[in-house]
């Protein structure tokens, strides 16, 4: 093993010692060790965002995001506790009511990380008044559809378009409650960007914002990513 890949030490996750490599976050090290920590906005291809807070853990008794907290030798990390899972379910409920996430009629159902995480954590109903936002649906592009009503502001499409596709099609605009996804075109329409169906940004969305046209339900319900294997099992066992 080369020095840069050698384990830098171990930390404790829910009582089990886990090795980590230099530069790892707690979430990176846990995922490599096949230990599931719930998350939405983190993706192994990109740097941490830290916006969804679903990956919140307790580190030596203090609360922090597992995706942005560096792994260090001797840390005592708690993830799967009743308190933390209750907080995660509340955050998930808030995400569901803030957007229009009607799973039975959504093309992303069964492939949606938000839906899969809600199932994993046993979320039961929204418990909050639904916002029912009326954001635009952009069908201007020949091959792709955008439904902004489902956006969870994870910024994965922004990162993929910039770092992988080299196009900067997406960006975040506004602040606070007015934060929203914007397109890099004078018209504000996807058709006037350099976006292509084969771009990494076209398939990185964890929910149902960016969808290919003319492919509705090509993969039948029951055969989709999370239909036969939960999100935790895919981390702990690897996809089957």
What the chain holds in terms of domains, given with CATH numbers, is 3-80 (3.10.20.740), 86-215 (3.30.70.20)
What is the Cα 111 distance to its own chain's centre?
A: 12
Residues recorded for the chain: 240
What span, in angstroms and rounded, lies between the C-alpha atoms of 89 and 186? Answer: 39
pLDDT at 1: 36
What span, in angstroms and rounded, lies between the C-alpha atoms of 199 and 207? Answer: 17
Residues 6+ apart with CB under 8 A from 168: 161, 162, 184
What span, in angstroms and rounded, lies between the C-alpha atoms of 135 and 173? Answer: 14
Residue 92: Cβ within 10 Å count: 22
Residues 6+ apart with CB under 8 A from 12: 18, 75, 76, 77
Q: How far is CA 207 from CA 33, 156, 166, in A?
A: 26, 11, 22
Residue 199: Cβ within 10 Å count: 20
Helices (H), 38-188: 82-98, 113-120, 156-159
Grouped pLDDT means (10 residues each) for the chain, 240 residues: 60 96 96 96 92 96 96 97 96 94 92 97 88 92 96 96 98 91 96 98 97 88 92 81
Q: What is the largest CA-CA distance in the chain?
A: 54
What span, in angstroms and rounded, lies between the C-alpha atoms of 147 and 209? Answer: 5
pLDDT at 120: 97
β-bridge mates for residue 206, sequence order: none
Of residues 231, 225, 172, 168, the one with CA closest to residue 201: 168
**Both tokens of residue 57?**
């853990």
pLDDT at 195: 98
Residues 6+ apart with CB under 8 A from 48: 25, 27, 42, 65, 67, 68
What span, in angstroms and rounded, lies between the C-alpha atoms of 65 and 28? Answer: 12
Whole-prediction pTM: 0.92
């Amino acid at each position: 093993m080369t020095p840069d890949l050698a384990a830098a030490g171990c930390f404790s996750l829910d009582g089990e010692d886990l090795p980590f490599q230099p530069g790892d976050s707690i979430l990176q090290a846990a995922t490599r060790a096949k230990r599931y920590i719930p998350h939405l906005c983190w993706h192994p291809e990109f740097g941490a965002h830290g916006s969804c807070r679903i990956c919140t853990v307790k580190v030596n008794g203090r609360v922090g995001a597992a995706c942005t907290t560096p792994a260090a030798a001797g840390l005592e990390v708690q993830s799967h506790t009743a308190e933390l899972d209750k907080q995660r379910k509340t955050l998930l409920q808030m995400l569901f009511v803030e957007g229009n996430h009607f799973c039975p009629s959504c093309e992303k159902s069964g492939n949606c990380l938000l839906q899969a995480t809600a199932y994993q954590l046993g979320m039961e109903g929204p418990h909050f008044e639904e916002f029912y936002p009326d954001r635009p649906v952009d069908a201007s592009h020949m091959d792709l559809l955008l439904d902004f009503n489902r956006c969870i502001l994870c910024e994965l499409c922004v990162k993929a378009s910039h770092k992988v596709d080299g196009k900067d099609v997406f960006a975040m605009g506004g602040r606070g409650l007015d934060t929203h996804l914007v397109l890099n075109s004078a018209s504000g329409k996807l058709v006037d960007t350099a976006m292509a169906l084969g771009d990494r940004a076209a398939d990185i969305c964890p929910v149902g914002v960016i969808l290919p046209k003319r492919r509705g339900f090509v993969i039948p319900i029951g055969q989709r990513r999370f239909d036969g294997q939960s999100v935790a099992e895919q981390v702990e066992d690897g996809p089957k």
